[in-house]
Amino acid sequence: MTIERIGVIGAGQMGNGIAHVLALAGYDVVLDDINKETLAKALERIDKNMHRQAARGLIKDELIAPALKRIRVTQALDDMKDRDLVIEAATEDEATKKKIFQELCPRLSPNTLVATNTSSISVTRLATATDRPEHFIGIHFMNPVPMMQLVEVIRGIATDDTTFQAALEIVKRVGKTAAYAEDFPAFIVNRILQPMINEAVYTLYEGVGNVEAIDTAMRLGANHPMGPLQLADFIGLDTCLSIMQVLYEGLADSKYRPCPLLVKYVEAGWLGQKTGRGFYDYRGEHPVPTR
């Protein structure tokens, strides 16, 4: 199966990153979002990030203008009708994703493949909201997409070999490495990463260490490039909580119980960098721990 025209639904942090790497790889991209302002910011961010890559010698300057021309933005799902593949990169909420698929699929060609960028939700279950479970697959890019080299590829129970091979080819063409994951809650990376972050929040909650001590300990003691609480703020505390809830409900094991402090931060709307406050306060010149 030859794929050249790809649609991306959701122009937030993940969606614009996916559009970025697809366009650089030569794909014709349509980027959709219900929010016009989000679409405008996405194009600005893609432009900025491509120039940042060029400044670091990661890509050539002459690739930027043609890549940007390959991205077209829209607020109409009807513009996905000529796509060979559509990748959903909306918020990590099962009901939202299923609603998108139900509205999207009637607009597509019968042969169009559909993928989800979900970081934790069952691909098999999401496929039931489509009219093509055999042509549905999980393609989970890591954040930030332009920089991270791994992509998890997750087959649902009905996903056929043609769809799987097409997904692997896309990952290869954008210059990344595929890791095949079985369709279990949170797959591989988040199955390991999020409980670590949750345990760091428990360590904070129980007063074992403050924010700065915990992040410093893991940076210098475990040689992590970023402390777990700083990483949680980067990912988004709402996303971290959502993934822990998927693990807790899907595996029925108390070790995955979300920390009450994580729940409290999300209830307060302190979701991390995107809202200006999380385990750090980002509203000043430098991030300041909030506990």
Q: How far apart are CA 8 and CA 31, in angstroms?
A: 5
Q: State which amino acid sits at residue 177.
A: T
E strand map for the chain: 5-9, 28-32, 71-74, 85-88, 113-116, 136-141, 150-155, 177-181, 280-281, 288-289
Strands 280-281 and 288-289: antiparallel
Q: How far apart are CA 6 and CA 9, in angstroms?
A: 10
Active site residue 152: yes
Residue in 16, 117, 120, 190 annotated catalytic: 190
Active site residue 190: yes
Residue in 20, 92, 120, 140 annotated catalytic: 140
DSSP 257: P
Number of alpha carbons in the 13 Å side-chain half-sphere of residue 202 = 12
Residue in 49, 119, 122, 242 annotated catalytic: 119
Task: Tally the residues of the chain.
Answer: 291
What is the set of active-site residues? 119, 140, 152, 190
